[in-house]
Structure 1
Amino acid sequence: MTLTVNRKFCKGCGICIAFCPKQVLDLDEVGKVYVKDEDKCICCSLCELRCPDLAIKVTKEDKGEKV
């Protein structure tokens, strides 16, 4: 699983942070979202779906398991 934030697109609205059930994301000192703890991510993709600027991409890697 990969969680990527395009900081050029991010305006720091915090919607993704509010929707994340595991508190994986946070705002840095300049007000941009960053991945605080990717290991906690459950791949629910709520952050990606709710981001109004399309700044977040969740990629699920297929390891031969049925999803």
Structure 2
Amino acid sequence: MSPKRVVLRFMAETADKPIIYQLIRNYDLVVNILKANINPHKEGMMVLEIQGEPEQYTRGLEYLRSLGVTIQPLSQDVHRNETVCTHCGACISVCPSGALYLERPDMTVNFDEDKCVVCLMCVKACPYKAMEVRF
């Protein structure tokens, strides 16, 4: 029952429906919204971490597909290149999940990949290109 990360893409017709509520209520799934861009009457995208019994998980994904929601496994990860990182801290201030943090007293930047929501803000902020995307 370890959580699985997926990317959902919604059509404009389903973006304003309570489908996440239905996943929780009808399929007994634990849902953690990691990132979302949903607007009524427009296409939307959401990154979820979903956890539950395998049968319920499968049924929940079938429900989403029946509504026309496209489901993809989260197939990219952010990785820090230790040989390039200078521990400048530029990435820390833009990280919304706290995956990048400053270790005191040695003042080094640490990266907790399990907390990363793959927003890619650190990739944009790093002046040394130490933060990399892997597919």
Shared topology, TM-score over 0.5?
Answer: yes
CA shift, 1:31, in A, is 4.0
CA contact 2:95–2:122 (8 Å) conserved in 1: yes
1:12 and 2:12 equivalent?
A: no
Bigger relative contact order, structure 1 or 2 (CA pairs below 8 A, ≥6 apart): 1
Matches within 5 A, 1:1-67: 1-28=76-103, 30-36=106-112, 38-59=113-134, 61=135
User: If each structure's strand is expressed as a fraction of its own residues, which one has the higher value?
Assistant: 2
CA contact 1:47–1:56 (8 Å) conserved in 2: yes
Q: What's the counterpart of residue 65 of structure 1?
A: none
Q: What's the counterpart of residue 64 of structure 1?
A: none
SS in 1 for 2:93: helix
- Which residues of structure 1 form unaligned runs of 5+? 62-67
Between 1:14-23 and 1:27-36, the stretch displaced more is 27-36
- Percent identity, please: 36
User: If each structure's helix is expressed as a fraction of its own residues, which one has the higher value?
Assistant: 2
Between 1:3-12 and 1:43-52, the stretch displaced more is 3-12
RMSD between aligned alpha carbons? 1.9
TM-score of the pair, normalised by structure 1: 0.68
Aligned length: 59
CA–CA separation in structure 2 for the residues paired with 1:58 and 1:32: 21
- Which residues of structure 2 form unaligned runs of 5+? 1-75
TM-score of the pair, normalised by structure 2: 0.38
CA contact 1:17–1:25 (8 Å) conserved in 2: yes
CA shift, 1:8, in A, is 1.5
